[in-house]
Amino acid sequence: MADTNMEGRQQILQWLDEERDQIVALLQAFLRAPSPNPPGNTLQAAQVVRDYLTSEGLDHRVIDPHPEMPNIVAAFDGGDAGRHLVLNGHIDVFPVPESHAGWTQDPWGGAEKDGKIFGRGACDMKPGTTASIITYCLLHRLRDRIKGRLTLTCVSDEETFGPWGARYLMEHHPEVHGDCLLNGEPGGPESIRFGERGPLWVEFSVRAEGAHGAYVHITESATKKAMAVARDLEKLTEIEGAPPHNVASAIDAGRETMDRMMGQGAGDLVSNVTLNIGLIKGGEKANMIPSECSFTADLRLPVGMEHSDLLPKIEEIASRYDEVSWKVVGGDAPSWCDPHHEMVGILQRNVEAFGRPRPTPIVSLGGTDARLWRHAGVPAYVYGPYPYGMGSHDEHVDIEEFLHVVRTHVLSAWDYLSTPAG
């Protein structure tokens, strides 16, 4: 059995070496197919995925509850019974300002420069989705040697919590649940994400009488009142979560790695509520006291908290002010799974075999579709590239790092499916 596993690994590495340029070209074609969400139209980028699968002779399904946000699903069974591994990546990406402010490369160009590939989605997460596609294609060639089932899910609508994407699949297509999930979202190649904090998006609406800008004695300003509410919300960031012991110890062990992968200070933030005022709108003219203002707060809850723990505190803050209303407009609970699962060990061994540092299990600051599998009781793990320029300008991925992520995904999927459970 060991010889068979090693032969498969050697064949996979040979294919990866021979098809290197083809794999890089797939990522570039993927990046050159704009798929910003909002607005969410991923038809062009989804077609890139479909064309590649077709070129490999692989059947697939399109599941599109929203006609402009298709999800691509494919699956095959191995030669023997075994476990079911699911690969997941998303097709949609963050939008880009019309001015392309800060970009030195075309955000939809997929340009290669100095060993890097640039473009919106070049770290979040078209490299990871490409890794899933390549994993599926190469393991299909070895399907007779696999024990179990492999499913590919390339989904839309991840950037807006997935009502037409992974969430829809999980709710309506239980065949994609599986026994374990592997995802390639960016987080840094020295980390394996076994959990993530839970987003809570809250929209506040503030009203006032309004008046001429010189008559500040007549009425409150809706914008000033909104700023005061936002200031009070900042106190929520002092609240810490209370995770289970095995998760708490893994979080503590991963803080230093988080600082290296996600920037200094990330390790300190992971255990606390965080606040970002992502959208704000108010006022009509500089010399008018605004009568209306609205803003949306993006709160992130640590593992060990629920939305119900925070909502009464938000209500208490809003109630301090007249004519302030609020509503939840999005979010999900924190999620986690076993930080010592077999897949964690498989990923660690493969990364170390390539001469890289052993990746540390961590809880993520940001969210991924992997949470949906965890909520369904399926262990879900994320291994991907550094988040260079994620949500900002000049988003990019180092080519060799991208290829490393691809190798790690393919070999880890092979190891999981070519050996019996236990």
pTM of the model as a whole: 0.92
Q: In angstroms, rounded to a whole number, what is the distance separating the alpha carbons of residues 194 and 303?
A: 11
Contact indicator for 143, 79 with CB cutoff of 8 Å: yes
Q: pLDDT exceeding 90 applies to what percent of the chain?
A: 94
Identify the pLDDT of residue 262. 86
Give me the pLDDT at residue 245, please: 86
**What is the rounded CA–CA span in Å between residue 173 and residue 189?**
31
Amino acid type, 373: W
Q: Which residues contact 257 (CB under 8 A, 6 or more apart)?
A: 188, 190, 191, 267, 359, 360, 362
What share of the chain has pLDDT > 70, as a percent? 99
pLDDT at 1 exceeding the cut of 80: no
**Angle in degrees, CA 10, 50, 404, rounded to 5:** 35
Q: How many CB atoms lie within 10 A of CB 68?
A: 14
Domain boundaries, the chain: 2-196+334-418, 198-244+263-331
Q: What average pLDDT does the segment 346-356 reach?
A: 97
**Residue 421: what pLDDT?**
67
Cβ atoms 328, 320 nearer than 8 A: no
> Would you report the helix, strand and coil content of the chain in percent, each value rounded to 5?
40, 25, 35
pLDDT band per the 50, 70, 90 thresholds, residue 217: very high
Tell me what the pLDDT averaged over the chain comes to. 96
User: What's the pLDDT score for residue 422?
Assistant: 57
The two three-digit tokens of residue 338, written as one number? 């076993």
For residue 244, pLDDT beyond 90: no
Res 420: pLDDT? 72
Q: What is the pLDDT of residues 253-265, one digit of tens each?
A: 999 999 998 889 9
pLDDT in the model for residue 246 = 86
Q: Is the pLDDT of residue 77 over 80?
A: yes
Q: How close are the terminal C-alpha atoms of the chain, in Å?
A: 15
Q: Do domains 2-196+334-418 and 198-244+263-331 have the same CATH topology?
A: no
Say whether domain 198-244+263-331 belongs to CATH 3.30.70.360.
yes
Task: Return the closest-CA partner of residue 300 out of 334, 329, 251.
Answer: 334
pLDDT, one tens digit per residue, over 93-121 is 999 999 999 999 999 999 999 999 999 99
What is the per-residue pLDDT for 101? Answer: 93
How far is it, in rounded angstroms, from Cα 72 to Cα 47? Answer: 10
73 neighbors 153 (Cβ within 8 angstroms) = yes
pLDDT tens digits, 296-319: 999 999 999 999 999 999 999 999
> What superfamily does domain 2-196+334-418 belong to in CATH?
Zn peptidases (3.40.630.10)
CA separation, residue 375 to residues 8, 116, 329, 335, 369 (Å): 33, 35, 20, 7, 10
Mean pLDDT to the nearest integer, 378-382? 98
Block residue for tokens 């890794």: 131
Q: Phi and psi of 225, rounded to 5°?
A: -65, -40
- Rounded Cα–Cα distance for residues 194 and 346 (Å): 14
Closest CA to 11 of 417, 419, 410, 422: 410
